Amino acid sequence: MAFADIFHSSRDPLVQIGIAGIVLLFFLAVIFTAAFIDPDKYTGPLATVAAYGRFAYSCFLKPHTGDSGNQQDALESFYKTQAKAYDTTRGRLLHGREDMLSLAACQMKDTNFGASKPIWVDIGGGTGWNIEQMGNYLPVPEFFRAVYLVDFSPSLCEVARARFQRLGWKNVKVVCQDARSFRIEEHQQEGNNSLVVKEKSIYETGNQEGIGADLVTLSYALSMIPEFYPVIDSLSTLLSARGIVGVCDFYVQSQVDFRSKNYGGGVIDRHCNWWSRTFWRTWFEIDRVNLDGARRDYLEYRFGTKLTVNARNHFLGVQIPYYIWIGCSKSSPSMESQLAEMNAAATESPFLAALDLHSRTGLARSDSFETKSKAYECAIVNLSAKLPLPCFWYQNHHWRIYYDHRLEKHTQFKDQYIYAFTWEDSRVDARILKVTNDDVILAITSAGDNILSFALEKPKRLHAVDLNPSQNHLLELKVAAFTALGYADVWKLFGEGRHEHFREILISKLSPHMSSYAFQYWLQNGPKTFGKSGLYYTGGSRHAIQLAALLFKIFGLTSEVNRMCAAETLAEQKEIWERSIRGVLLSKLLSWTIVQNEAWLWKALGVPPNQRNVIMADYEAQCDAAGEPRRKFGRAIWEYVVNTLDPAVANTLLSEDNHYYLLCMQGKYSRKSHADYLQPSAHVKLSHPHAFDSLRIHTDEINEVIDRMTPATLTIAVVMDSMDWFDPGSAAAEKQIRALNRALRMKGRVMLRSAGLEPWYLKKFEECGFQTKCHGRRVPGTCIDRVNMYASTWICTKVRDEKAPGALAELSI
């Protein structure tokens, strides 16, 4: 028969069904044949085909015989025929195991176990793949005193024993037992008295004594356990007070199930849509794998969350949801010891070590209660309900203060920071403020550069405040980098703004030093942020930098920009600027078509409408004083930009001393010109183990933070240009000024910058107990500092107490 005849006949539905049947029979024949080939007898492609044949047969074709009600029989029915092929076939399907082990290993390395070595229990450890893989992150035979692999499938345990015999790891013991009844003390060697005995938990009643595991892991095991409640309960009994739990598994869940919880560790990508929930729950139930959300919810209820990750396995063109979760005892010693201390640090009140928080289940609100920090209030509510505290309480470092990520005031930023670097001149800040070890400082976070500069001076306390969570995520990343990385990696991240191994160092080095929210954020956004484009081409401010780079490319000025950034003298720099670059950046057409646009001013330059109005008011006053007609708004912005850039170019050398504009021109710092915190000497100071003990990062409005501080505790408040954002004469501005007066000690100072020469709110400061002094006023042709972005800099010194009318007497603890 000719090919055309075959093709024509194949269009007949009966023929098509026949062809499909033949193909299906052939496929099934291959699977059945491969299923009964022993993979151990072959190598290369044939062994792989045999392994996947056994996998397909066991999962989709083989009748399930474990219906006796015995869980061990059910597991053996599923795994017996594929035990030897298990590791070969699960590499693509079971994603996240390596990341979970790496995260757990980081936590273990960051934990002080004293003289004793830790104990690890791998629940549902199967073939022992997890334990062997852990050897890439920790020296298993040397690091752990004992490792117990607990699994209920004899076939998998047999493979595991052969593995560890081959590896020669004597401290690993394979236990074929129900996880609910496993106890370490029943398997310890006689005469071993050095194992740590568990202490009672503040959440538990009854006998909790026993030998505690320092690490417990479950890798794709929890979803296969029918009675998961007693298993999770047994884990809480098994875990030592200082122990770590690591779980990786499939899941599906709707946001309805978790959005009301404040202790889940973050919700980035946690929600699964209806189709995903329905399909994957049904699909996995064929193999008796249960993806109901209650398993993960109960796990989070029984333990405290350190880190959590929600991800998708892109397997064969589909997305299978899975999660990684790192937890600890919800009454960990670190949490208990830091609870009252953290509240004291957040509110600057005296530290009360003897607080018995757990008995206060019926607290009534009072005036004194209002002085507590929000984190403290949340902790009291959760403890009263026997709930875990929010993940911030279980950090290894108590830098980040709890905040409610669900509030609109935080979600309005859509998980994006505006500033990738800070515009305020740190040298001028240091010269004016002269920070000492006795200072208690509150400053707006922005990109965190100024916070790190203050940290170099080792103040008594340093409060970083920002309403945008992502700005604080950026500061957390920088603090974690100094804590865990060498200078070379810190320079790559924040000097060049790029790191080819960002994800790897985030998981393996930075994760123990970050809150779950910040870790989630950077796991999702970091690889792209620190990829080809780089950190400084991200955030809202990227629009201005990208526009400048595009214009330079269009007008063929890239080489001119490079020459200007490398100029060795001011004369050379100014000549290049006036010859080519100035005509592009200071084009009136560009200013009037783009820069004056309100959306552009806010998104690209961080200039809100009220601050724009401050600029316009000064321009109109100048026109009136000179007897000139008032011109359009575009002219005011253009002149403001001219008065900013021309003097900066004429008076500061980008290649040596002005890293602010060097960064804007080339998208990265240079070894000669960079922020203070990127000096090698700064890394020595900031990488000290206690360099950030004084730091507290608040995600909130300034008012919300200072209102909860004990009066007369701050010495310095740096509010940048935020006062420009208030409506002129608004009650909100006066409220913040009075709150600052209340929080500051006598002679305490508020440092502010303004786009105005003499902003309207200075009179409010004077009315509310402050003495104002100008420390720099910009006039055309001169520089106020290296940035020269603001028209004036002011110090407002508290000279008297000023209370709001009708205010109640303040109570302090």
The whole-number pLDDT of residue 160 equals 92
Identify the three-state secondary structure at position 318.
strand
Closest CA to 574 of 645, 664, 672: 645
Query: Taking a C-beta distance cutoff of 8 angstroms, is the pair 252, 281 a contact?
Result: yes
In the beta sheet, which residues pair with residue 173?
Answer: 148
Phi, psi dihedral angles at 735 (to 5 degrees): -60, -45
For 159-205, the DSSP string reads HHHHHHHHHT-TTEEEEES-GGG--GGGTSPTT---SPBPPPPTT--
20 close to 36: Cβ distance less than 8 angstroms:
no
Q: Please identify every stretch of the chain with a pLDDT value under 50, giving residue numbers as ranges.
A: 3, 7, 28, 31-32, 34-35, 61, 190-200, 202-203, 205-208, 352-370, 806-813
Of 262, 243, 389, 248, give the one whose Cα is nearest residue 329.
243
Q: With both helix axes pointing from N to C terminus, report the angle between 598-605 and 542-554 in degrees, rounded to the nearest 10.
A: 100
Q: Which of 764, 714, 779, 772 is nearest to 740 (CA)?
A: 714
Token duo for residue 140: 């298993």
Stated as kind and residue range, the H or E segment containing 464 is strand 461-466
The secondary structure of residue 400, as a DSSP letter, is: B
DSSP string, 744-798: EEEEEEEEEEESSSS-TTHHHHHHTTEEEEEEEE--TT--SSSS--SSEEEEEEE
What span, in angstroms and rounded, lies between the C-alpha atoms of 300 and 236? 11
680, 707, 730: which is closest to 808 by C-alpha? 707
- Token code pair at residue 276: 């995903």
Residue 245, token pair as written in the block: 């739990």
> Looking at residue 739, what is its pLDDT?
94
Q: What is the pTM of this model?
A: 0.86
Instruction: Give the Cα separation of 798 and 497 in Å (integer).
Output: 40
Written as six digits, the tokens of 395 are 């950090």
Q: What was the pLDDT predicted at 31?
A: 47
Nearest to 234 by CA among 182, 187, 304: 182
Long-range contacts of 314-318, Cβ-Cβ distance < 8 Å, separation of 24 or more? 315/92, 315/93, 315/95
CA distances from 101 to 94, 122, 133, 326 (A): 13, 11, 8, 10
Q: Nearest CA to 83 among 123, 61, 51, 48?
A: 51
On the CB side of 129, CA atoms within 13 Å amount to 19
One-letter amino acid for residue 114 of the chain: G
Strands 770-777 and 714-720: unpaired
Q: Do β-strands 213-219 and 119-123 pair in parallel, antiparallel, or remain unpaired?
A: parallel
Residue 256's CB: how many other CB atoms inside 10 A? 9
18 sits in the region (left: phi over 0; alpha: psi -120 to 50; else beta) called alpha
Q: How many CB atoms lie within 10 A of CB 413?
A: 16
Cα–chain center distance at 350 = 30
> How far apart, in Å, are the Cα atoms of 91 and each of 47, 58, 95, 225, 310?
15, 17, 7, 21, 19
- β-bridge pairing 146-151 and 119-123: parallel
pLDDT at 198: 44
Give burial (CB, 10 Å; 0-12/13-18/19+) of 171: middle
Run of H or E including 147: strand 146-151
The C-alpha atoms of residue 630 and residue 619 are separated, in whole angstroms, by: 8
In whole angstroms, how large is the CA radius of gyration of the chain?
A: 31
d(CA 633, CA 645): 19
Q: Is 572 exposed, middle or buried (0-12, 13-18, 19+ CB in 10 A)?
A: middle
**Using CA atoms, how far apart are residues 423 and 769, in angstroms rounded to an integer?**
29
DSSP-derived secondary structure letter, 391: G
- One-letter amino acid at 551 equals L
Task: Encode pLDDT of 506-544 as tens digits.
Answer: 999 999 999 999 999 999 999 999 998 899 999 987 887
Per DSSP, the three-state class of 73 is helix
* pLDDT given for residue 462 in this prediction: 96
Q: What is the DSSP letter of 718?
A: E
Owner of token pair 């724009």 = 612
Give tens-digit pLDDT for 267-311: 999 999 999 999 999 988 877 889 989 999 999 999 999 999 999
- Residue 308 is predicted with a pLDDT of 97
Q: What pLDDT was estimated at residue 714?
A: 96
Average pLDDT taken over every residue of the chain: 83
User: Comparing C-alpha atoms, which of 708, 114, 755, 724 is closest to residue 442?
Assistant: 708
DSSP H or E stretch at residue 311? strand 303-315
436 Cβ contact partners less than 8 Å away, ≥ 6 residues apart: 457, 459
Give the helix/strand (H/E) hosting 130.
Answer: helix 129-134
d(CA 453, CA 493): 17
Sorted by where each starts, the structural domains of the chain and their CATH numbers stand as 3-87 (no CATH), 96-329 (3.40.50.150), 333-394 (no CATH), 542-666 (no CATH)
Q: Facing residues of 119 across strands?
A: 146
Contact status, residue 305 vs residue 388, Cβ threshold 8 Å:
yes
